[in-house]
Structure 1
Amino acid sequence: MNQSNVYIWLCGIMMVWGLNVVAVKVLVEQFDPVAMTSLRIFVAGVGVLLVLAFMKKWRMPSMSELGLITLISLFNVVGHHYFLAIGLKQTSAVNTGLILGLIPILTAISAMVFLKAKMTPLKLLGIIVGFMGVALVVMAGQQDAFSIAMGDLYILLAAVVQAISFVLIKKTSTDMGILLLTGWMMIIGSFFLMVISFVTEPNGYATLLNGEMYHYAVFFASALLATSVGHMIYNNAIRMIGPSESAVFTNLNLLFSLTGAAVILNESLYVEQLLGFLFIVMGVISGSGAIDHWIRSRRTRRTALLERAYRERKK
């Protein structure tokens, strides 16, 4: 992947991630959610480390790095995937995809809290519009007063803890590359999820024997394609074009999860969900800082052009 085709790769991985919401919904309906998730994340982590071993970039973490990896994995892997799994058991894939679309906005909020990032009027507007979109999503299909389903709340918590983990990754320093860090986070986090499964799902791993062939095909596609390859591509894209521009592509993730849930799972689409989708897209573009980044880039380019023109006139 190079600078010229990074956008094509991002579009592709957003399609995979959008459909992965549908895939995980299928899996949690068939298997106990935490047991399935722990094994899925373990397989994904092994996949990342095998790729790095092939590239001769694999190594064991030091003791200090192990503590850091464990801390981040509690948010990025354990918290995020636990809440995602049990939330998907209680809500629709449509709502899940839309609520997870808030992650860029929640990451911007976390950066303001923990990294003292600057709040701008456009970011504030985006945050407000994004949460208005989520309010519309959780109201979808309700005939009575406003209420929040527990499944929707769990998905929101999954988005919050992942946003915090992104800030922790940026705030902490380590000599480990982001891909190596990601692989070990998955391995360590999956063991925590296994412990949670043994406590909360006594027969959880036994249910993994009750699937059909297509369930296992979906399982390995989700683990290896969406989680392993997906994270490696996205993390590399962030390095090449920056987090703000990469965040804009998450809107495609929303579109594919919405379409996949409606077409593959035959889930109902309500007007409130479609309006919520539009609000979240607008909120992400503004609240993630993408518009601020675009404005700064234009000003920088214009200033550079003016300076070059001035130097040429002086010759």
Structure 2
Amino acid sequence: MTFQITVQPSGHQFSCDEDETVLAAAMRAGVGLPYGCKNGACSSCKGKVISGSVTHKAHQARALTPEEEAAGMSLFCCATPHADLVIEAREVAGSGDYPVKKMPSRVSTIEKVAPDVVVISLQLPANETLQYRAGQYIEFLLRDGKRRSYSMATAPDNGPITLHIRHMPGGLFTDQVFSTMKERDILRFEGPLGTFFVREDSDKPMVLLASGTGFAPIKAIVEHLVQTGSKRAMTLYWGGRRPQDLYMDALCREWAAKLPNFNYVPVVSNAEAEDNWSGRTGFVHQAVMADLPDMSGYQVYSCGAPIMVETAKADFVAKCALPEEEFYADAFTTEADLAAF
């Protein structure tokens, strides 16, 4: 059975099969619902069911609480319809501009930039290109049918696609990356995916908030804004447990020295005496709050661990007057996050 989905306030409509999620149907129809992980962990696709009813597949309770579900909220990446639906969602202009492709790539370089982080570069087949927006991600297609998602760390048209990969001990894919992967290996992927990219219809100053390898899409966004000659003010807050987690600190300091509209604030939460760290300490989002107690005129682009992203959004909105609709995020979910359902 097929149902009709109507999105408010745009009025856009699309069909959805009864065993299909609302998000999958929207993507198939080219309707730009916001999304990130696509598996019920990050809450980027959360919206409201105004009429009709849905069943939710497995998801994390923190992404959609029972109280929210009772109030009509829904995770559209996990929701399958029982009837025609009217939903309320903030659509993302431009999210469907570039085709999603499945294609092979060859590992051209592997560079270890921290004890647990490598940067890999991908070479695409001759005469093939991947059009994407800075901030989007690709999914590697593994042989067992599983997928692993990584954000592109380079702006479009700024050299080969690069990815920042952190080792998750015991991880099916990252164990391979850190042990047996070598240059010229073939990897298949699908992309571009995600709605985490700059809303270029605004000139508001931007807070770029990253933890760990959440820096990857932020790097692509900065490069894109530099390429396009944007004059928007940008402040990057990058947090790690120890200084070595800020594995491209020198690049960020170079940006701060060269770009008149760019500031950089590194934050370390668990520095050891041997690190000789004299910079900001504590949780990275709290550094933002200390510097910007009134965020009513800002946009925030946040990427990293789900707990950081969720806490930052809640605190910025509740305590710093950030408009909720001006917080854009990509939470990096791991297999451990998914196993916690």
Considering the TM-score relative to the shorter chain, is it more than 0.5?
Answer: no
Structure with larger RCO (C-alpha < 8 A, sep 6+): 1
**TM-score normalised to the size of structure 2?**
0.23
**TM-score normalised to the size of structure 1?**
0.24
Bigger share in helix: 1
Bigger share in strand: 2
